[in-house]
Amino acid sequence: MVRVKSRCWRCGEISLSLQDIILVEHGDGEGTFYTFICGTCGGAQAYPADARFVDFMRMNGAPPVILNPPIEYKEAREEPPLSWDDLLDLHLLLEEGR
């Protein structure tokens, strides 16, 4: 079975089987990460995956899972954050509605 070496922030260098690893590609192009649970301490880990590692996983039948953020998430990011003025406006609207 193919083993991959990685690091656990608690245990140091560890050996993983490909089944232990989940490769996650962000659908909005923010990069690909691999994640796993350390077999020794049970800690969840995530690290950026470079193109070579992604190819390696693909060749071994473990292509990345594409993670698409909800549309609302993107739309919300284009709006400026709520300000005090927005809250005051909302407050006045609510007052008028009484």
By beta-carbon proximity to Zn ion, the closer residue of 11 and 90 is 11
Choose which of 2, 11, 59, 66 interacts with Zn ion (CB under 5 A). 11
By beta-carbon proximity to Zn ion, the closer residue of 13 and 79 is 13
Closest approach, Cβ 37 to Zn ion, in A, equals 9
Render the burial of 27-36: b for 16+ CB within 10 Å, e for the rest. Answer: eeeeebbbeb
Residues 35-54 that bind Zn ion (CB under 5 A): 38, 40-41, 43
Cα distance between residue 65 and residue 23, in whole Å: 6
What are the residues binding Zn ion (CB under 5 A)?
8, 10-11, 38, 40-41, 43
